[in-house]
Amino acid sequence: MQLHLMQLRKRAGYKSRDVFADEIGVNRHTYKSWETGTAKITLEQAYRCAVALDCTIDEIAGLEHPPLSADPHRVALMRYYDAMDEEGHAILA
């Protein structure tokens, strides 16, 4: 699996691997091996990266979720429903 650490690191403003490795408290060589794909990253390590990069572990793994709906009206209705309390749900139903 090809991780997207480099793209996410740069997007977050970390220009250097070394600076980011220091930020998350990981050996610089270890972090480089994650970015280059020569070593595996653990779930805990991916979590620490996600927190520091303000992203999800899914984004680090390159997993893309399809939009919930291509219909903008349906998306708006789902947003309104999610914002309602239980009484609103009952009234709507």
Where do the H-state alpha helices sit in 1-93?
Answer: 5-11, 17-24, 28-36, 43-53, 57-61, 72-83, 86-92
Q: Quick one: tokens of 64?
A: 């893309």
Worst-scoring range by mean pLDDT, 1-5, 21-25, 36-40, 78-82? 78-82
pTM of the model: 0.68
- Could you give the CA distance from residue 19 to residue 61 in angstroms, rounded to a whole number? 21
Per-residue confidence (pLDDT) for residue 67, from 0 to 100 = 66
Instruction: Provide the greatest CA pair distance for the chain.
Output: 58
Mean pLDDT over each residue of the chain, to the nearest integer: 91
